[in-house]
Structure 1
Amino acid sequence: MAGATLFLPFLPMLPTQILLNNILYDISEVPIPLDKVDTIIIRPRGNPLKSHANPVLTLEPLFIQRANARPRPARPLI
């Protein structure tokens, strides 16, 4: 917001509005580091990418072929 004042002929927000906005956002973010995480979530589950590799490798050629296809001409609306 402060950088926008260099390019705009008006102030998008007053300095007090910017400070109030920042303090309200900061207050809303305080509980995040204080959150207690369950022990089930803390333990690693392994590599989830193995289950995604097969569909990606099989569907990727279809998407590449579709992306390289020539576009169809537009049909008239009437």
Structure 2
Amino acid sequence: MDDIKAMSFETAMKELEAVVGKLEKGDVPLEESIGLYERGAALRAHCDDKLRAAEEKVAKIALGPDGQPSGLTPVDGL
């Protein structure tokens, strides 16, 4: 699962889609299905973390009086 931590959001999403596709077909042996499900759960958690981090960065962007980004501001609770 360590390799998942190094994945970009896009790479993790592609692999997650492949895992879901295999599970939806239903022709995977039970033991392999369990492994795929566990990997899929780890991939989903990784994607959630990446999205949350991106949302926090966007939330930090401060706009100046002219409506243009003027810097970053701290987000409450961080």
Report the TM-score, using the length of structure 2 for normalisation. 0.35
More helix by share: 2
Give the structure, 1 or 2, with the largest relative contact order (CA under 8 Å, sep 6 or more).
2
More strand by share: 2
